[in-house]
Amino acid sequence: MDNIKTGALIRRLRKSAGLTQKQLAEKLCVSDKAVSKWECGSGLPDISLLSGLSDVFGTDIQTLLSGSIEKNESEKGNMKKTRFYVCKDCGNIITSSSDAAVTCCGNRLAPLEPQKAEENDMLTVEDLGGEWFISSRHEMTKDHYISFAAYVCDSSVTVFRQYPEWDLQLTLPHYRTGKLIWYCTKHGLFCQDIRRGTNNSK
């Protein structure tokens, strides 16, 4: 931790939260002199206070440690660039529309890289006249199953949670174009394009 950078960030976050040094100190059960020392760069918060600080400011501990907030400027929340994260410990599914620092169960998660599905892996997509019916013959056992499927288009992401005892069967309203994304617990993340007016079936 850099005293000056971390102190300046604490000051910036405190002001953004509309708190005085005394109010922040009261929330953390420390003296306002301690907060003043942090912001001046002449001291650092005890490691036991970092979790409380991150909660007060609505940020994460890593940001406090780095002393800076990096903003995503390049993608501006483009939904087609949505990243998918899956926690190996609890199965939690997390999405972000641009770069993000994601943790779950104490683990830092990396975004999954979707692989383009080969013909044998593709989901079956049938046009029912106004809706798509999506299904798969993928086995759905306790140790090997599709844990989620998602539809991604320009402006939205729709995620469907799946469970081992279920057969994968989904219905979606017609959109002009988009992408199906799904996650196999053994083989990872897959994707396939889906378009109106074309044969999307396997």
Domains present along the chain, CATH in parentheses: 3-66 (1.10.260.40), 79-195 (2.60.40.730)
Read off the pLDDT of residues 14-59 as tens digits, 9 standing for 90 and up: 898 899 999 999 999 999 999 999 999 898 898 899 889 988 888 8
CA distance readout (Å), 179 to 41, 74, 154, 167? 49, 22, 10, 21
For position 73, what pLDDT does the model report?
46
Quick: pLDDT tens for 107-124.
889 999 999 999 888 999
**In angstroms, what CA-CA distances link 63 with 9, 38, 59, 60, 172?**
9, 15, 7, 6, 39
The torsion angle over the Cα atoms of residues 197, 78, 81 and 191, rounded to 10 degrees, is: -20
pTM of the entire structure?
0.64
Q: Would you say the C-alpha torsion 29, 32, 33, 36 has a positive or negative sign?
A: positive
42 versus 129: the higher-pLDDT residue is 42
Does position 148 have pLDDT exceeding 90, yes or no?
Answer: yes
